[in-house]
A = this chain, B = another copy of it.
Amino acid sequence: MESWKTKARRIVLEQRPWLVVEYHTVELPDGRTISDWPWIITPDYVNVVAVTEDGSFICFRQVKYGLDGTTLAIVGGFVEEGEAPLAAAKRELLEETGCESADWVHLGSYRVDPNRGIAMGHLYLARRAHFITQRNADDLEEQELILLTRAQIESALASGEFKVLAWAASLAFALRKL
Chain A interface residues (CB < 8 Å from chain B): 1-4, 12-13, 15, 18-19, 21, 26, 28-29, 34, 36-38, 40, 42, 61-71, 73, 108-118, 121, 140-142, 144, 160, 163-166, 168-169, 172-173, 175-176
A38 touches B63 (CB 8 A): no
> Measured between alpha carbons, how far is A138 from B40 in the docked complex, in Å?
23
- A112 to chain B: which residues have CB within 8 Å? 112-113, 118, 164-165
Given A66-B115, A117-B66, A160-B108, are A168 and B165 also a contact pair (CB < 8 Å)? no
A169 touches B165 (CB 8 A): yes
**What's the least CB distance linking A139 to chain B, in Å?**
10
Closest chain B residue to A62, Cβ basis: B1
B63 touches A4 (CB 8 A): yes
A115 touches B65 (CB 8 A): yes
Question: How many copies of the shown chain assemble into the complex?
Answer: 2
- A115 to chain B: which residues have CB within 8 Å? 64-66
Instruction: Select which of B18, B28, B70, B118 is within 8 A of A118 by beta carbon.
Output: B118
Given A164-B114, A165-B110, A165-B111, are A2 and B63 also a contact pair (CB < 8 Å)? yes
**What's the least CB distance linking A40 to chain B, in Å?**
7
B116 touches A3 (CB 8 A): no
**What's the least CB distance linking A3 to chain B, in Å?**
5
Closest chain B residue to A165, Cβ basis: B110
Closest chain B residue to A123, Cβ basis: B165
Q: Which of A29, A37, A113, A140 has the most CB of B within 10 A?
A: A113
Instruction: Select which of B40, B142, B165, B175 is within 8 A of A165 by beta carbon.
Output: B165
A19 touches B116 (CB 8 A): yes
Closest chain B residue to A23, Cβ basis: B15
Closest chain B residue to A118, Cβ basis: B118
